[in-house]
Each structure stands twice: as structure tokens, then as C-alpha cells.
Amino acid sequence: MSCCHTELELAQGDTAFNVDASTITYGDGCLSEAGDIAAHLGIKRIALMTDPVLATSEHVAKVEDSLKAAGVDVARYDDVRVEPTDESFQAATKFAIDARVDGFISVGGGSVIDTTKAANLYSTHPAEFLTYVNAPIGDGTPVPGPLKPHIACPTTSGTGSECTGIAVFDLLAMKAKTGIASKMIRPTRALIDPSVTLTLPPNVVAASAFDVLSHALESYTARHYHVRPAPSSPSLRPSSQGANPWSDLGCKEALKLMGKYLVRAVDSAEDVEARHQVMWAATLAGIAFGNAGCHVPHGMSYSVAGMAKNFNPDGYPLGEPIVPHGMSVIVNSPAVFRKTAVGDPTRHLEGARWLGADTSDASDADAGDLLADQIVKLMRASNMPNGLLGVGYEASDIPDLVNGSLPQRRLLDNAPIDIQREELTELYESALTYW
Ligand SMILES: NC(=O)c1ccc[n+]([C@@H]2O[C@H](COP(=O)([O-])OP(=O)(O)OC[C@H]3O[C@@H](n4cnc5c(N)ncnc54)[C@H](O)[C@@H]3O)[C@@H](O)[C@H]2O)c1
Ligand SMILES: [Fe+2]
């Protein structure tokens, strides 16, 4: 394990880390196991949650058929909002309460899985909406106990939400994203069928794959768990516990797979090997960041997505402006890793090498540029937007972007260097454009 921290820091830091993960079933065609799993979890009536685009898809049909064949009564909710909001979380919660279900199954991307976590939480432990939302925006009150069983079936190769205890949404009144973080909301089971990726539009493959790439890089370069102050009691050790030997394993493999398959997977839905390998990378990175935590690119993304002005990329619902999550993250990543490399050059160089850069003659001083340049190369090859200007922002928006991301301390404090207002301003300036 590489570590550049002082003995004083180590003496004050934590001495142990947790390994938490959902129980995962992974493989081609496994969506048809949904009914058997639900029945064995004792579910009699299940809420099947999805979004309007997927509602008529073969993936949802396969899951519903399997549930019905196993004798499970199905209550369908097809109205999950892509990039959910506090309002859409509450609409899904109302459905869950009215439907009187004893379990949940989500079939969709991160938007659907996160909405299902929220509907499960608020219908099982009713409370004012901000009660469980992360402080300082919400009250950050701990979830009082277990939820109903939730089987998560991801249909994008991206968020890893099926393995995490996080639900992200846009708080409309603040025009910023925030989330709920609790191990209690982690899905009970994940059913990951890589064949779902064959119907994904190229832009969704690209955006969600760059989300994966950044999950892995952020978790690998996060401050080491030894450096985070020890919790007052072991049960309070956070999921954002910092880089650790367990999360390192998933990050390393995910980054190698991204270096090899990301561009291929975006280029062709016929490239089954590439699409499947990107799904496997998403799974590994999801397990990793669920046990380490992301840092600054995700912290900055929350205001980039929340303040969306006029951007409406192909592959996403038309109508309201939307900066899809993966794009809102990756427009920040090159600027961030160029700057954070000084905190742990070895890990930044390793990341660059696994993504395909030639690091043979590189010194520590080259680490930030090499990693940033390699990410930019992959972004250009996948038609990603060119920085913040590419998703509709201007330099004059930077003070608002900074204000929106400054409260994200859970993420910012997980970085390998200190991040305050001044650093965030500089990072948004560097992220305006890359080529
Ligand atoms: N909870 C977490 O740990 C976590 C982590 C990262 C991101 N997120 C959140 O997840 C959301 C983004 O999720 P996402 O990137 O998975 O995308 P998404 O769920 O927003 O879906 C994007 C689009 O792709 C479509 N789609 C999904 N699967 C498809 C398929 N197989 N075939 C055809 N079309 C398909 C959807 O209908 C939608 O239009 C954001 O709200 C983000 O904040 C959560
Ligand atoms: Fe993410």
C-alpha cells in the first residue's frame, strides 16, 4: 500500500476499515431469476419500479414475467424521473405507501435504483423529507432500522447504485444535487445482467462509463482510511472511509477494463465483449466506491447537474435541460486529478497507466498531467462534452457552481488534498475547457 502521510496523522487516524456489499448475482440472462429470489425473500406483493423509457423494454418484461411465474403479485410504477428530484422521490414514496407492498424491485439505471431506495425508506420509516438527507442540507438523522427487501437490477453500466447505500437527487429549491447516505438503504440483492447493455444508446454508455471511471479513480486516490479521524464508536465508521486494500482491488481492475473497453463499448452495440466488460467494471467500481467514497469530481458534479441551463444531449429524455450524471462528473475530473496528484503521485501515475497512458519515463511531477491528459483523450474519443463550456456553462457561473458544491463535505473531505472555496474556484476555472 502506498502512503505518503505523516506518523502524526496515522496516530490520530482510524485503524480498521469495513467491507460492505450487496449480495450480487451476475451473468447473462440472470434477470429471469428475479421471481425465485423475490419468493425466497418472502415477498408476496412487490413494487416493480422503472422509468417511462424502459417501461416497454424487454428487460422489464423479463423481470415481470419471472415474478408472476413465481406467484409474486406485482404493483408497477413506470414514472421514475430520469435524474430524480425531491418531488419525484416523494411521488414514488406515495405510490409505495398506497400500493401496500412488502418488497421492491428496481429495473433501470441509477435514477430508478435511487428512487426505489428512497420510496422504500420513506414508506417504511415515514418522516419529513429532509430528515434523512445528508447534513448540512438535511438533518442527517440516522435511518432507524432495516427497510423492506429491495432487489436492484441495473440496466446501465454505470452508477453501481445496486451496491451502495446512497440515493442521489436534485433538491429543486436549492438547484443542487444532494443525497441520502446510509448502509440501511443498500439494496438487499443485486441482479446484474450484462445483456441489458446491448440496448443502451451510445451517449448513455459513454456517460455512465465515465461515471465508472471516475468512481474508480476517486476511490483509488481518496485520502487513505488511516488518515480519517477514527469514529467515536466503530458503528459510526462511514462508507466514505477512504482508500483501503479492499476498494483498491476493484478500482485497479475497473480502471484496466476501462482503458481497454470504454471506447469500444461506446462505438458499437454489436461489440458484446466490450459492453459486457464495461458492466463488470461498473460492478467492481460500485463495490469499491461504496466502501471508500468518491471525492472532488463528484462533489463538483452536484452543482453542475443541479444548475443545468440549456444542455439536452442525445439519448436522454427531451424537454427540461439535463446534464447526465456521468457527464457532470467527467467534465471536472481532468482538472481535479491534475491538481490532486501532488497528494499521492504514485496512485495518480498508476491510474494513468491502467487507463492506457505510457508512464515508463514518468516522474512524480508528471503524474497529474499524465492522468488528466489520458482522461481527456478518452473523452474526445467518446464524444464527451468539452468541459463546463461544453455542457452550457460560462465563466460567470463559477461563483454559483462553487456555492453549490461547497456544502458537499462528505466528498470534498475524502480528497487527498485540502479543498476549500479557493481551490474549488480554481478547479472550476480549469474545467471550463480542455481542447
Ligand atoms: N446511488 C449511487 O451510488 C449513485 C452513484 C452514481 C450516480 N447515481 C445517480 O444515478 C443517476 C444516473 O443514473 P444512470 O447513469 O445509470 O442513468 P439513468 O438511470 O439516469 O438513465 C439514463 C437514460 O438511459 C435510459 N436507459 C437505461 N437503461 C437502458 C437500457 N438498458 N436500454 C436503453 N435505455 C436505457 C433511461 O431510460 C434514461 O433515459 C443520477 O441521478 C446519479 O446522480 C447514483
Ligand atoms: Fe457517480
Cis amide prior to 136 (ω within 30 degrees)? yes
CATH architecture of 200-430: Up-down Bundle (1.20)
What residues pair up with 153 in beta bridges, in sequence order? 107
CB-based contacts of 365, cutoff 8 Å, min separation 6: 345
CA-nearest residue, atom 6 of ligand 1: 159
Neighbour tally for 386: CB within 10 Å: 15
d(CA 414, CA 222): 6
Q: What is the pLDDT of residues 265-302, one digit of tens each?
A: 999 999 999 999 999 999 999 999 999 999 999 999 99
Angle formed by the axes of helices 272-292 and 202-221, nearest 10°: 40
Q: How far is the CA of 162 from the centre of ligand 1 (A)?
A: 11
Ligand closest to CA 160: 1
What residues pair up with 152 in beta bridges, in sequence order? 106, 190
CA-nearest residue, atom 18 of ligand 1: 109
pLDDT of residue 11: 54
| Cell, residue 57 | 423494454
d(CA 411, CA 296): 6
Q: How far is the CA of 204 from the centre of ligand 1 (A)?
A: 8
Element (H, E) at 7: helix 7-12
Task: Please report which residue ranges of 293-420 form alpha helices under DSSP H.
Answer: 296-306, 325-330, 333-340, 345-354, 367-381, 387-390, 398-405, 409-412
pLDDT of residue 365: 97
Task: Please report which residue ranges of 168-237 form alpha helices under DSSP H.
Answer: 202-221
Neighbour tally for 129: CB within 10 Å: 17
> Which among 96, 140, 145 is positioned nearest to 119, based on CA atoms?
96
Domain ranges of the chain: 23-197, 200-430
Q: How far is the CA of 208 from the centre of ligand 2 (A)?
A: 8
pLDDT of residue 6: 44
Q: How far is the CA of 212 from the centre of ligand 2 (A)?
A: 7
Kindly report the CA angle at 172 between 166 and 177, in degrees rounded to 5? 35
SS3 at position 168: strand
**Exposure pattern of 253-287 as b/e (b: 16+ CB <10 Å)?**
bbbbbbbbbbbebbbebebeebbbbbbbbbbbbbb
Q: Which residues of the chain are modeled with pLDDT < 50?
A: 1-9
Calculate the alpha carbon distances from 209 to 295, 327, 403 in Å: 17, 10, 28
CB 111 within 8 A of CB 152: no
Q: How far is the CA of 69 from the centre of ligand 1 (A)?
A: 28
Q: What is the pLDDT of residues 24-34, one digit of tens each?
A: 999 999 999 99
pLDDT of residue 236: 85
| Cell, residue 156 | 446501465
pLDDT of residue 317: 85
pLDDT of residue 2: 41
Q: How far is the CA of 261 from the centre of ligand 1 (A)?
A: 20
Bridging pattern class, strands 73-77 and 103-108: unpaired
Ligand closest to CA 290: 1
CB 96 within 8 A of CB 104: yes
Q: How far is the CA of 298 from the centre of ligand 2 (A)?
A: 6
Ligand closest to CA 197: 1
pLDDT of residue 221: 98
Q: Name residues contacting ligand 1 (CB within 6 A).
A: 51, 53-54, 82-84, 108-112, 114, 155-156, 158-161, 164, 166-168, 196, 199-200, 204, 208, 211, 316-317, 325-326
| Cell, residue 56 | 416497454
Q: Which of 161, 172, 185, 295 to mutate to test the pocket of ligand 1 (most atoms within 8 A of CB)?
A: 161
CA-nearest residue, atom 24 of ligand 1: 204
pLDDT of residue 130: 97
pLDDT of residue 13: 87
Q: Which atom of ligand 1 is nearest to the CA of 112?
A: 19
| Cell, residue 239 | 462508507
Asked: is 23-197 a CATH 3.30.470.20 domain? The reply is no
**Where would I find the beta strands (DSSP E) of 187-327?**
189-192
